[in-house]
Amino acid sequence: MVLVDDLSVLVVDDMQFSRTVVATALQGAGCSDVRLAENAAEALEMLGERTADVVLVDWVMPGMDGMELLEAIRQMDDRTQRYTAVIMFTGKEGDEAMMEAFAHGVDDYLRKPFNDTELVARVYAAGRMAALQNTLLETANAMEAENEQLRRINAIDPITQMGNRRYAVERLEVLLRQVSTRNGALSFSLVDVDGLRQINERYGYEAGDEVLRAVGRRLRRSVRPLDDVARWGGGCFAVLMYYTSAQRSPSAAVARLLNVVNRRGIETSKTRLPVTVSIGSVSLVHGEAPISATVLLGKAEENLMLAKSQGRNRMILN
């Protein structure tokens, strides 16, 4: 059965024999769009000319290795607002290598030698995952088309082009009414960029604004299309999430906000900067005592200050 006929695949390996083996297996499964690159620089040039759904990368290569290429692909995805699935394949033995690869953000991992059936199945799964991610990104981009309406009511932040504090407060009041009158729960999080003032002082406000825009994009991509992300002020963002079930815990979703920003640096016009955030979050479920937006905001701000006092890269939830 043909599984990968509509996928665009790029194979990156400095060994010609290995490239040929992978390409032959994929083409035999019906994949007609397979490109081959013998090093990372050639792969990045190809991706700059035309994107790929799945990139298969050999870990050990001369010059830029597979991990460095993975990071470059993620940076490229940040700029182009899309997602590329990356499968790392290697002859390295042991689980430690596999865990290292996943910790760096690969989507799948294959040890050499692998059989054709396993290879095709992994590429197919990675392609489906990338398609889902890109559909979500397209949905988010479509929602950003509503920014024109936000401009008319003076509720958009000029730097990030997201909703501003006024917009976030209005949305919070709407969600509080929903939780009060319906079954459900909400989570309100303040996500603050650690050390933004120092970034502005050392690299200039242009670099600081680039960091804000990048953090805003990463937060937007890490939540569901109907969740809200707004710039609260300074280096702080507000993230509002509503759940139809009061049993749904927001802790995993809030932890994802922390990880999606902190796992890799942000490329600015001046330099690549390591960026972390601290989070203060509060949740409310249907049936709890009524609470005003002012009180809930105060609790979130207290939690953020507590997270900040414990050092960088912290979150406090209650």
Domains of the chain, by residue range, sit at: 8-142, 147-317
Residues written for the chain? 318
How many CA atoms within 13 Å lie on the side-chain side of 108? 20
CB-based contact 71:266 (threshold 8 Å): no
Task: For 71-121, write each residue's pLDDT tens digit.
Answer: 999 999 988 888 999 999 888 877 888 898 888 889 999 988 888 899 999
Task: For 218-230, write each residue's pLDDT tens digit.
Answer: 999 888 888 999 9
Q: Where are the alpha helices (DSSP H) in the chain?
A: 16-28, 40-49, 66-80, 95-103, 116-144, 147-152, 165-181, 196-203, 205-222, 251-262, 293-309
| Higher-scoring residue by pLDDT: 255, 56 | 56
Q: What is the DSSP letter of 112?
A: S
Homologous superfamily of the 8-142 domain (CATH): Response regulator (3.40.50.2300)
Structure tokens at 109: 């991992």
Query: What mean pLDDT is predicted for residues 9-31?
Result: 91
Homologous superfamily of the 147-317 domain (CATH): Reverse transcriptase/Diguanylate cyclase domain (3.30.70.270)
Determine the pLDDT at residue 146.
66
Determine the pLDDT at residue 287.
77
Q: What is the DSSP letter of 223?
A: S
> Which DSSP helix (H) or strand (E) runs through 209?
helix 205-222
Q: Is the pTM of this model over 0.85?
A: no
Q: Mean pLDDT over all residues of the chain?
A: 88
Task: For 246-296, write each residue's pLDDT tens digit.
Answer: 666 677 888 888 888 887 889 899 898 999 999 999 998 887 767 889 999
